[in-house]
A = this chain, B = another copy of it.
Amino acid sequence: MLIVGERINTSRKLINEGVAKRDTAYIQADVRSQVDSGADLIDVNAGSRRNSEVEDLLWLIEVIQKALPQARLCIDSPNPESLKEVLSQVEYPPMLNSTTLEKSRFEAMAPIIQMRDCDIVALCIDDRGIPKSVEQALGNAGRLVSELERLGMKRERIFLDPVIQTISANTNAALMVLETIEGIRRELEGVNVICGLSNISFGLPKRALLNRAFLTLAMKAGLNAAIVDPLDKKLMATLRATAALLDQDPWCQAYTAAFREGKLET
């Protein structure tokens, strides 16, 4: 499992304050704790700060790379133009979050994706909106992969996001996503599947419970990357336990190592 740490997002109050105050130490401590907790990439999102998004992203990229010269970044913006403006400042090949199959979005993202070696998060959404069936989601997935391959991307750089809706609005939303993930794995060999988890529980109580059980189910279906808060110890413990059960952690070596490091919170 590839873990994308989601904390550096200005929609979070404390992160927004840290960015507004240019609090280098605060941001650097946060990303260090994410990496210590298991993050493979650091997501960086300043989309809530519309008037200063680009300069905020540039500042964040600089201070994060200073603290963690080896860090891989996931640059996250709803604005293709913002991604384009900051891309050259990212040291290691970044992950770009995200494109969709919507015509205008894909057309705006296409030249950016080609600017340099990168991973791309691609949401299975087209101009009809969020898929209403597994077939529609898989159709979008297949077209996204074709279009991205046409731009020269290799499948191992593509991270399809099946787009999660809450079970409080659609009682079979989780089953649909699981079937979509299984379908992507079956039909699109070599492509990665990523998602944020927490939408699944929107509008319900004790969301952490639903998010953790959904992570377990999604990993079994074939999810191999997740955008999560790596400081959520119980979620990370569930992830490690699930990897052990699915033989993704042969002989539970990583699981028992995490236990010895005090990282398995029940």
Residues of A within 8 A of B (CB): 167-168, 171-172, 174-175, 178, 200, 204-206, 208-210, 212-214, 216-217, 220, 234, 237-238, 240-242, 244-247, 250-252, 255-256, 259, 264, 266
Closest 5 CB pairs of A and B: A174-B245, A209-B241, A205-B259, A213-B241, A216-B216
A252 to chain B minimum Cβ distance, whole angstroms, is: 6
Report the bound CA distance from A48 to B246 in whole Å.
Answer: 34
Asked if A168 and B252 sit within 8 Å, CB to CB, the answer is yes
Report the bound CA distance from A244 to B175 in whole Å.
Answer: 10
Asked if B175 and A247 sit within 8 Å, CB to CB, the answer is yes
Asked if A247 and B206 sit within 8 Å, CB to CB, the answer is no
Report the bound CA distance from A91 to B138 in whole Å.
Answer: 53
Query: This chain: how many copies in the complex?
Result: 2
Asked if B220 and A266 sit within 8 Å, CB to CB, the answer is no
Asked if B247 and A209 sit within 8 Å, CB to CB, the answer is no
Asked if B244 and A210 sit within 8 Å, CB to CB, the answer is yes
Asked if A252 and B167 sit within 8 Å, CB to CB, the answer is yes
Report the bound CA distance from A120 to B231 in whole Å.
Answer: 45
Asked if A172 and B237 sit within 8 Å, CB to CB, the answer is no
Q: Which residues of chain B have C-beta atoms less than 8 A from A175's C-beta?
A: 245-247
Report the bound CA distance from A114 to B62 in whole Å.
Answer: 76
Report the bound CA distance from A238 to B208 in whole Å.
Answer: 10
Report the bound CA distance from A178 to B216 in whole Å.
Answer: 13
Report the bound CA distance from A238 to B242 in whole Å.
Answer: 14
Q: Which residues of chain B have C-beta atoms less than 8 A from A245's C-beta?
A: 167, 174-175, 200, 210, 213-214, 217
